[in-house]
Structure 1
Amino acid sequence: MEQQFDLAVVGAGVVGLAHALAAARLGKRVVVADRDAQANGASVRNFGFVTVTGQARGEVWRRARRSAAVWGEIAGPAGIDVLQRGLTMVARRPEAKAVLQAFLETEMAEGCAWRDADGLSDRLPGGGEILGGLTSAVDLRVESRTAIPRLAAWLQAVHGVTFLRGVAVRGVETGRLETTAGPIRADAIVVCPGDDLVTLFPDHFTRAQVTRCKLQMMRLGDPGWRLPAPVMSDLGLVRYLGYAELPEARALRARLEAEQPAHLEHGVHLIVVQSADGSLVVGDSHHYAATPDPFARDDVDALILDEFAAVFGQAPPPVLERWTGTYASASGPSLVETPLPGVRLVTVTSGTGASTGFGLAEEVIADLYDLSQGAAA
């Protein structure tokens, strides 16, 4: 016998769960189907850093602000610990300081301030050669490996969302999914396939020139000090578009090309976050291919750790874990299309699913049900 729902979501990553939440808050009966037994992809292979500061100006930044607010609303009820709040964006060079000071003049600098190096002692342990940094209070960090499963469990227990694990979706048509567990009927469908670009609606990904990005990350041992907020450095200022699109970023990029060409070649920038046990999650790098190889390169990890040593003025702690992750990547921040009536195809294509997914999902659900965005919030 076919099951009937108001909304069917394909994919139980953070973007799929965000759509399930937005619909459940409207009182919709929701089912989520996922081919894996538990979260195993990009949603758990990341920093858990919900980054608002530095996101691309305009709709992406607004989505990030809304997403951080939603994380704040659900974290406590879902049993998700917010381990760090804010951001410390370090400037090692005068050109980086100029970018950050220009950023502080924009509307995106809400909750941000500049501190000279001697004013960062409570945010940045160690003795790295830095000029100072931008501090933010609007970002937050969770432990992805536990946050995503807890979010799903809360959606099931509190919002009545049905989860079908280990179930592959083989076909989608208006009002119906064909799955390995049998057909599912739903008034509306949202397909959130992550970086699976070939199983469902592959022509849409081809037309949008979506590819895949591989990143490398590490977990380091407890350094003996605590970070109240995640830390980033100069390299991030030419990757995060909220900074990189400012005119002042051109001079910084030119200097980085002269001084750290290998870092730029491998898409390396530095993010350091700290877990409850004191260990540090550190990354990352960016390599693009239709099918990225699964292997982590030691020389790329060495570039990441080199930037760590420069920022903190000390050798990195021992590496406890290494892993790679992949995500869908394209020139725009996300792909949202209507391949069939009553069906939406949604993929974040900028590696910002945790940071922008809740805001994006509210927009999609509002559109799907012909509501104002506020009604879906």
Structure 2
Amino acid sequence: MVIERLIRSDSTRIFFTRIGDDRRVPYEVALLPGDGIGPAVVDAALPVFEAVADRHGFTLETTVFDWGSERYHSKGTMMPDDGLDQLEGYDAILLGAVGDPSVPDHVTLNGLLIPIRKGFEQYVCKRPATLFAGIESPIQNHTDDIDFVVYRENTEGEYSDIGGREHRGTDAELAVQSAVFTRTGTERIVRQAFEAATAREGKLTSVTKSNAQAHGMVFWDDIVNEVHEEFPEVEVERLLVDAASMDLIRRPEAFDVLVASNLFGDILTDIGAVVSGGMGLAPSGNINPTMEYPSMFEPVHGSAPDIVGQEIANPIATVRSGAMLFEHLGESSAAETLRTVVENHLADAAAPRTPDLGGAASTTDVTEALEERIE
């Protein structure tokens, strides 16, 4: 089959179709390349996704939205006021990265990522950590046995924008930041994690700080106990976040599924990325399980301003995020192809690698090699 490409008049909308195809409605994917290395990894990964779509008989339609820190400098906001309305009709969103040293982090986070996560009820942040053959973990004596996934609550908890500051500039200045845990929000992420544990190895680790936070975190523990009654076959381990952080380094092979609040999940997944080979390999999905709204998929690594423009960013985290995107859309075979291609690429000592993995290859060197494996 031959893929035709049509650049629409606005130069942002690209339609991929197939001569003689089965007239399947294309998946519409919104692209938010964002800041830093985001545009580079998204641009490099797109041909890989096209190759997978061609191989598995579905079509893609993508639209680029140039929202991010540059827009903030020119227009005062990270995205337009009707940004969610513009995104709502898409099947999924692929994000490159958000963040720039010239804009405070709380502005970039609250100006783009959090409104999308909350507005589209993307309450599951799913972040797998897998140590692939051919990749060395910085943790000694762990070569091929790290394979776990973190279910992070993604719409409330410590990232709730509730609080304020008073008496600014005086000795009496104070700041109050409140974490919010609702029964609905806590129960649904915990249930998702139990379901994942049932489908995997039957072990769930719940991470809290109940000894210091006797309201929100003890409430979380109570919900875990309640939901556990529905999944009696699942073994539940309860760890404080400091102990969990230590054990992710000391015994990462012992974990299967972890569930944690917004802040704790964010911290634990960075540890998971590092112990399994590095931030350049770590994918992430901000998922609305009901599919009422689009879900958003993104690499964990962030905008990496220190390497912008050098063409050395590792695109594999973005490619793996694409695999999660396809899985979410029901294209399981395509997702499996991407996962297998990445696994085989990393296991091949002769395959090109970016500097973060000890190589000297460029971003596009890697994606071109992945595309060749698909074809």
TM-score greater than 0.5 by the shorter chain: no
Query: What TM-score do the two structures reach when normalised by structure 1?
Result: 0.26
Q: Which structure shows the higher helix fraction?
A: 2
Query: What TM-score do the two structures reach when normalised by structure 2?
Result: 0.27
Specify which structure has the bigger relative contact order, considering alpha-carbon pairs within 8 angstroms and separated by 6 or more residues: 1
Q: Which structure shows the higher strand fraction?
A: 1
